[in-house]
Chain A
Amino acid sequence: MYQKEKPLLFLLPSLTVLVLVVIFPTVFLYYSSFFRWGLGAWHDRAFVGLYNYYFVLTDRFFYNSLIITLAYMFMCVTLEFLFGLVIAMTIAKIRVRAVVISLLLIPMIIAPAAAGLIWSLMLNYTYGVIPYILKKLIGFSPAFLGPDYAFLSTVLVDVWMWTPFVALVILAGMEALPREPFEAAQLDGASSWQIFQHITIPLLKPLLIFIILLRSIDALKTFDTIYVLTGGGPGQATEVLSLRIFKTGFFWGGYEMGKASVIAIFLILLSTLLVSTFINIFRRLIRV
């Protein structure tokens, strides 16, 4: 009953727009990585071949950012996953769950820039409430935004924002599970821990991988919370790749956009790696 040409006709408007606003700019990004050029001075560019690539690949700050990004991703996702799992188990059988959920969704829904600001007020050494409480309770407080703890503070903000999300996804997944395996296990006298370990986790596995990958992709591209909380500092302590792109291109005199493009290309490659794995899992999850 449907003609053959129609599906493409329907797709045309959005595909055209996506090619114009995403594909064309991405191609441009690759092209621009072969030039030395400045912010707002594209007409004044000089072809430098592979020099920008050579520079970035021999720049220790690039590797520093790469390590910080990977560490940030790893810590955020691990903590969110473990913590989220515990929260999902805790609130699964609570009666006022709707209320709990509507409170828990606040961190994940507010603007990340606002979350960064909220935590920079909370963690401020002189006027912040957390150092204040710690000083009262244990007599001292670490400098949360100082060189030693700034990295952990950026992780804390991400964990605060996204753990409830992980928890709610796991909760939704648990509810969609079939009942029979659980009833059978209970009849056979399995303990709650055994049921959790041998039934809940294996059945949830595709969903758990899905959520871990989704969170990894988002953590990889984090920019706003870190920009607001620490600006990548102190020094280079929290300079993830997104921040490195910003500092290289927009910050230091703004004449190194070519090098910033190279770092951006590496970030795209990393994220493509994760995204393609994610999409494989996604296809399996919804079975298409």
Chain B
Amino acid sequence: MKRIVNARGKDVFITFVRYFLAIVFVMFFIFPYYWTITISLKTRAQALDPSTFIFKPTLENYIYVFTAWNLGKYLFNSIIVSISTVFLSIILSLPAAYSLARFNFKGKETVAFWMLSLRMLPAMCVVIPLYVIFSLVNLLDTHIVLIIAYLTFNVPFSVWLLRDFISSIPLEIEEAALIDGCSRFSALMRVMLPLLSPGLAVTAIFCFIQSWNEFALALFLTGTEAKTLPPALTFFMTSVGVKWGELAAISSIVTIPVIIFAWLTQKYLIRGLTFGAVRGAH
């Protein structure tokens, strides 16, 4: 069979198959999300009718979840908890990450990998003891309980990722600052910190996304007061029956900020999700 090739010497048929498959894959992974967004923009009757593909969008579901369902409260809880835990995690992790990246000491890798292994504990195993401990100190259903509980995965993750970012800054730059008469502290502040700021931003965004999306701990450790958006979603699911438009609206409110953040850090996404083992393709 004669191959048909284009101007750049590539097989036209294979290129066609490649693009066709790519479109099919993208459709499969995007369609459910796209469909949910459209449900959130439909009226109540349209939302339950899967044959409606073309319709006049309305924002009534969004208005309804904020007025009738008090979604603002859960949104506020999510924002408070996520931002606080990000700050706390970074402050706690930065010195450790620096130590593991720059110092040489016995057992260094063991400590680092031990921390990484903590990141992988199943949430359902941590939730039982945390529930008891926090009920004994009367902290259940507060922002504090979630901020602390989220440190269980955010601190190991931040240490690991920041260590990777610090290691990729050449040691010579830091040494040059020291030789030029900077103190260790001012070398860190004036030379390292600016160079590390992209890494800090990426780590912060990752911790934010993980905390924002977290479900199991929030479901069990909070009640009605400090509940964040993901467990609130299931709370509404069981209590409202088939009000799909509203549920879809909450889904998009939960997911849109995260998607924007992910696009901002797209270059680092794979690096973050693989704990720095894989530098991302882009």
Contact = CB atoms under 8 A, between A and B. Distances in A.
Contacts of A249: 128
Contact of A118 (B117, B251, B258, B282): B251
Nearest to B52: A129
A110 B281 contact: no
A265 B129 CA distance: 12
A8 to B, nearest CB: 8
A106 B148 CA distance: 28
A87 B148 CA distance: 39
A148 to B, nearest CB: 22
B281 A2 contact: no
Interface residues of A, number: 105
B87 interface: no
Contacts of B123: 221, 223, 242
B32 A21 contact: no
Contacts of B189: none
Given A21-B149, A101-B282, A113 B95 contact: no
A34 interface: no
Given A10-B99, A271-B120, A171 B281 contact: yes
Interface string B260-282: 00110010011001111111111
A229 to B, nearest CB: 10
Interface string A87-127: 10011011000101111111111111110011111100001
> SS class of chain A's interface: helix, strand, loop or mixed?
helix
B248 interface: yes
B107 to A, nearest CB: 10
B5 interface: no
A10 B100 CA distance: 9
B254 A114 contact: yes
Given A257-B128, A271-B122, A169 B270 contact: yes
Interface string A160-181: 1001110011011111100000
Contacts of A169: 270, 273-274, 278
Nearest to B213: A111
> SS class of chain B's interface: helix, strand, loop or mixed?
helix
B25 A87 contact: yes
Among A171, A172, A176, A276, chain B packs the most CB atoms within 10 A around the CB of: A172
A100 B128 contact: no
Among B92, B178, B229, chain A packs the most CB atoms within 10 A around the CB of: B92
24 contacts: A2-B104, A10-B99, A10-B103, A17-B151, A18-B156, A22-B126, A25-B133, A26-B121, A87-B25, A91-B22, A106-B255, A110-B33, A111-B229, A121-B248, A127-B48, A132-B51, A165-B270, A224-B215, A227-B216, A227-B234, A242-B124, A245-B128, A267-B122, A282-B277
Interface of B: 18-19, 21-22, 25-26, 28-30, 32-33, 35-36, 39, 48-51, 91-93, 95-96, 98-100, 102-105, 108-109, 111, 113, 115-118, 120-126, 128-133, 135-136, 148-149, 151-152, 155-156, 159, 178, 209, 212-213, 215-216, 219-220, 229-231, 233-234, 237, 242, 244, 247-248, 251, 254-255, 258-259, 262-263, 266, 269-270, 273-282
Given A29-B128, A275-B120, 19 more contacts: A2-B103, A11-B111, A17-B151, A22-B126, A102-B263, A104-B29, A111-B254, A117-B247, A121-B36, A129-B35, A168-B270, A168-B281, A172-B281, A210-B277, A245-B125, A271-B120, A279-B116, A282-B275, A286-B276
Interface of A: 1-2, 4, 6-8, 10-11, 13-15, 17-18, 21-22, 24-26, 28-29, 32, 39-40, 42, 86-87, 90-91, 93-94, 98, 100-114, 117-122, 127-129, 131-133, 160, 163-165, 168-169, 171-176, 207, 210-211, 214, 217, 220-221, 223-224, 227-228, 241-242, 245-246, 249-250, 257, 260-261, 264-265, 267-268, 271-272, 275-276, 278-279, 282-283, 285-286, 288
